[in-house]
Amino acid sequence: MAEPEVNLSRTYDVIVVGSGAAGGMAAHVLTSHGLQVLLLEAGKKLDIEQELRSMEWPYDNRYRGGLPPDSHSLTLNEYTIRNPPYGSGFEKSKHLYSYVGDSDYMKNIVVDERENPITGTNYAWVRARCLGGKTNIWGRLALRLSDYDFKAKSHDGYGEDWPISYSDIAPYYDKVDLYLGVSGVRENLAHVPDSLFQRPIKLNCGEMQLKQGIRKMDRTVTQFRAAVATDGLTHNKYRRRCLARGACNRKNGCDIHAAFDSPTGLIYPALDTGNLTVRTNAVVREVTVDQQSGKVSGVHFIDSLTLKDYTARGRIVVLAASTLESARILLLSKSRLYPNGLANSSGHVGHNFCEHLMGPRIYGQMKELVGKPPTLDDGRPGGFYLTRFRNLSDRHPKFIRGYGFEGNSGCSMFPKGTDVPGFGASFKEEVRKNQGSYIGMGAFGEVLARYENYVDLDPQVRDNWGIPVLRFHYRFGDNEKRMAEDMLETAQEMFEAAGFRILRANGRMFTEGWSIHELGTARMGQDSKSSVLNEFQQSPAVKNLFVVDGSAFVSASCHNPTWTIMALCWRSCDYLADELRKGTL
Ligand SMILES: Cc1cc2nc3c(=O)[nH]c(=O)nc-3n(C[C@H](O)[C@H](O)[C@H](O)COP(=O)(O)OP(=O)(O)OC[C@H]3O[C@@H](n4cnc5c(N)ncnc54)[C@H](O)[C@@H]3O)c2cc1C
Ligand code: SF4
């Protein structure tokens, strides 16, 4: 793989900021159009051979897979009881990580919270500063949005419709499916459109029992739609076909890259075109503006190791630093022409911030499976997805929008059910007998986009590189609380319908941010007074500026966003290349 040297004396066609799902996709599409792209990534180049250890079992790990004793990862209670910045109070720990950084497999991927503080309301902001961003450790559930999402306002009157419909983005979902690979089963549901699937992962006995049990309620359990190349991808030499092995359910990256990650799926192939230059440890702190033309001219970035400041020049700037970081960069980019920050004449940058609600969950047991021989379920890229059923043809009296459930059943190396009372041989026998009979699932619901939920820059607190941090003004509202109550009720009703013994059911909402699906801080729209970007994720006022991550979402849907982020990004980058050719940028 050829890696050209960074040349800061030249003007690149496009500067892309960030290398996760969005930045990787931008690099892939733009270089395939023959454009010279400089990709700037704040984090390090991850040693993926060392870090993505899906074949390592905890017993081979010095800390049995846990964190070293000098480190701590925040718990649900700590996020809730303490106030940001979360660093104080943990002085005894050398490193402090988000809740995802609770293992030896994650600690070099997620950021240290002390170096990257936040202020304001409680928020579990999970960040991965390294080449590939969060795609190195993501859960890989790859869902499409539908017109129930793009036209949600037309459906229930709340918020705004997106300026696009499913038919606009469907060809780009197809491209993403074929280029990156997704496994699943066709269900022909209008609200969860099918992808062009590779071979599905099999549902196990417990999951089949749930599927059959709730069919009479007209609800659907389908195979986890995993962004995993179960049949392989002949056009990508960096990725392999899924071999259904290893500690896949740990979801800390796939060592043969059958599961999609941005470096092997997008960035390495883009480097092979010879059109991409990657600069890691490059923390972008501002987009620069030509004060004559009002157009962007490049970026200022800080080398994260030496703290030296640099300027890179580009004809176009594409922000893909993730929803909250891109908003932060826009707000940081204040100038005489743009005193409220770049592309912020509407005042909507940082606002309409939305995500997914998590917390309500259920855990049960199938008595028919007690004592049955163990099955091998660790090496499965996912269990099941129970699709949305609320507010489609009917209207729920207490809340709008919907939710789905992710879950799984089966055996695992560290068995479920070790919390039963007892000890010694009889305890072990009890655990062995029951281990494959458990099933659990947790809900993901749409959080409404509201102008009052927003981030801005903290006037005092700065990060490790001297850059003002984000201050959160963000809380779940009544719709989310009522939805959470319903999630718990329906989870119980479905487990009962499937004949499961319910062992635990909990309706407690997790802290804001837990879903790691931040969206909407620079939404697209037809009216530039109430939006930031147009349907091609371009600033209408600063035409050579694009923001191609989840910032552009108008509403959150209840579907995991990454496949949509990449499909939208592909569409926008095709448009960008066309417009550049026409000379309109
Ligand atoms: C544990 C986990 C499970 C998840 N499961 C799912 C799932 O099942 N399905 C799903 O759809 N999504 C899932 N997600 C979310 C998914 O990872 C994100 O939606 C996706 O990665 C977003 O892509 P992005 O490019 O916007 O951001 P990221 O992947 O976060 O990439 C942004 C990149 O920009 C860089 N950056 C930030 N600031 C700067 C700066 N100032 N200068 C330069 N570079 C910068 C960052 O270092 C990072 O590399 C999960 C995430 C996690 C962590
Ligand atoms: S099961 Fe497949 S996707 Fe999971 S780690 Fe193994 S090869 Fe990778």
Confidence of residue 5 (pLDDT cuts 50, 70, 90): confident
Least reliable range by pLDDT among 25-29, 48-52, 90-94, 533-537: 48-52
Q: How far is residue 260 from each of residues 181, 263, 360, 476, 501, measured CA to CA in Å?
A: 8, 9, 28, 31, 36
Specify whether the CB–CB gap between 443 and 491 falls below 8 A. Answer: yes
What integer pLDDT is reported at residue 47 of this predicted model? 87
Atom of ligand 2 nearest to the CA of 140: 3
Residue with CA at minimum distance from ligand 2 atom 8 = 254
What is the average pLDDT across 4-29? 95
pLDDT top residue among 420 and 502:
502
Angle at 506 between CA 503 and CA 511, to 5 degrees: 145
Residue with CA at minimum distance from ligand 1 atom 3 = 138
What integer pLDDT is reported at residue 67 of this predicted model? 94
Evaluate if residue 261 carries a pLDDT over 60. yes
Percent helix, percent strand, percent coil in the chain, to nearest 5:
25, 20, 55
Evaluate if residue 2 carries a pLDDT over 60. no
What integer pLDDT is reported at residue 78 of this predicted model? 96
Binding site membership of 139 for ligand 1 (Cβ less than 6 Å): yes
Counting ligands in written order, the one closest to the CA of 198 is 2
Q: How far is residue 426 from each of residues 52, 227, 412, 415, 433, measured CA to CA in Å?
A: 37, 41, 20, 15, 10
Counting ligands in written order, the one closest to the CA of 137 is 1
Binding site membership of 44 for ligand 1 (Cβ less than 6 Å): no
pLDDT tens digits, one per residue of 408-447: 999 988 888 888 899 999 999 999 999 999 999 999 999 9
Q: Give the integer Cα–Cα distance in Å for 117 and 257.
A: 31
What integer pLDDT is reported at residue 58 of this predicted model? 83
Q: Give the integer Cα–Cα distance in Å for 12 and 105.
A: 36
What is the average pLDDT across 16-21? 98
246 torsion bin: left (phi>0), alpha (psi -120 to 50), beta (else): left
Q: Give the integer Cα–Cα distance in Å for 374 and 340.
A: 60
**How far is the centre of ligand 1, averaged over its atoms, from the C-alpha of 299 (Å)?**
21
3-state secondary structure 109-147: CECCCCCCCCEECCCCCCCECECCHHHHCCCCECCCCCH
What is the average pLDDT across 177-204? 97
- How many CB atoms lie under 10 A from the CB of residue 142? 29
What is the average pLDDT across 15-40? 98
Confidence of residue 309 (pLDDT cuts 50, 70, 90): very high
pLDDT top residue among 440 and 47:
440
Task: With H, G, I as helix, E, B as strand and everything else as coil, classify residue 524.
Answer: strand
**How far is the centre of ligand 1, averaged over its atoms, from the C-alpha of 216 (Å)?**
38
**How far is the centre of ligand 2, averaged over its atoms, from the C-alpha of 238 (Å)?**
14
Counting ligands in written order, the one closest to the CA of 463 is 1
**How far is the centre of ligand 2, averaged over its atoms, from the C-alpha of 368 (Å)?**
29
Residue with CA at minimum distance from ligand 1 atom 41 = 284
Specify whether the CB–CB gap between 193 and 166 falls below 8 A. Answer: yes
What is the average pLDDT across 30-40? 98
Q: What are the backbone dihedrals phi and psi of residue 311, each rounded to the nearest 5 degrees, phi first?
A: -120, 135
**How far is the centre of ligand 1, averaged over its atoms, from the C-alpha of 128 (Å)?**
7
What is the average pLDDT across 54-63? 89
The half-sphere exposure of 267 on its side-chain side, counting CA atoms within 13 A, is 31
Angle at 78 between CA 456 and CA 114, to 5 degrees: 55
What integer pLDDT is reported at residue 406 of this predicted model? 98
Choice from 105, 198, 243, 257 to test ligand 2 binding pocket (greatest atom count within 8 A of CB):
243
**How far is the centre of ligand 2, averaged over its atoms, from the C-alpha of 20 (Å)?**
20
What integer pLDDT is reported at residue 1 of this predicted model? 56
Binding site membership of 41 for ligand 1 (Cβ less than 6 Å): yes
Q: Give the integer Cα–Cα distance in Å for 214 and 103.
A: 36
pLDDT top residue among 3 and 427:
427
Least reliable range by pLDDT among 247-261, 272-286, 315-329: 247-261
Q: What is the DSSP string of 18-54?
A: --SHHHHHHHHHHHHTT--EEEE-SSB---HHHH--T
Confidence of residue 315 (pLDDT cuts 50, 70, 90): very high
Ligand 2 binding pocket, CB closer than 6 Å:
54, 228, 242-246, 248, 254, 256, 258-259, 379, 381
The structure tokens 């190791």 sit at 305
- How many CB atoms lie under 10 A from the CB of residue 431? 16
Choice from 254, 376, 408 to test ligand 2 binding pocket (greatest atom count within 8 A of CB):
254
pLDDT tens digits, one per residue of 84-110: 999 888 989 999 999 999 999 999 999
What integer pLDDT is reported at residue 3 of this predicted model? 64
Binding site membership of 193 for ligand 1 (Cβ less than 6 Å): no
**How far is the centre of ligand 1, averaged over its atoms, from the C-alpha of 387 (Å)?**
24
Model confidence, pTM: 0.98
Counting ligands in written order, the one closest to the CA of 241 is 2
